[in-house]
Amino acid sequence: MSLMLRLLSIILISSTLASAGSKTTEQKLINFIGKAINTNKLYKFKKVQVVHEEVVPWNKKWKAYFIKIDLQIPSKNKTISVRDIIFSNGTIISKDFIDINTGKSIKNSFSFPASLNLYDDEHLLIGNKNAKNKLILFSDPLCPFCMDFVPDLISWMKKHDKNFALYYYYFPLSIHPGSISVVKAEIAAEKLGKFKDLTSRVYNEAFEFLNAGEANVLKKFNKAFKTNLTIEDINKKDILQRVKNDMKVANDLMVRGTPTLYVNGKKDPTRSLYKKLAKEGK
CA 178/CA 202 separation, integer angstroms: 13
DSSP sequence for 30-48: HHHHHHH---BTTBEEEEE
Tell me the percentage of the chain whose pLDDT exceeds 70: 92
pLDDT tens digits, 124-182: 999 999 999 999 999 999 999 999 999 999 999 999 999 999 999 999 999 998 999 99
Q: Rounded to 5 degrees, what are φ and ψ at 178?
A: 90, -10
pLDDT tens digits, 72-105: 988 888 898 889 999 999 999 999 999 999 998 9
Q: What band does 12 get if pLDDT is binned at 50, 70 and 90?
A: very low
Q: How many helices (H) and strands (E) does the chain have?
A: 9, 10
Q: What 8-state DSSP symbol labels residue 40? A: B
Above 70 in pLDDT, residue 8? no
CA 157/CA 137 separation, integer angstroms: 12
pLDDT tens digits, 14-72: 567 765 556 899 999 999 888 888 767 788 889 999 999 999 998 999 999 999 999 99
Asked if 125 and 166 touch (Cβ cutoff 8 Å), the reply is yes
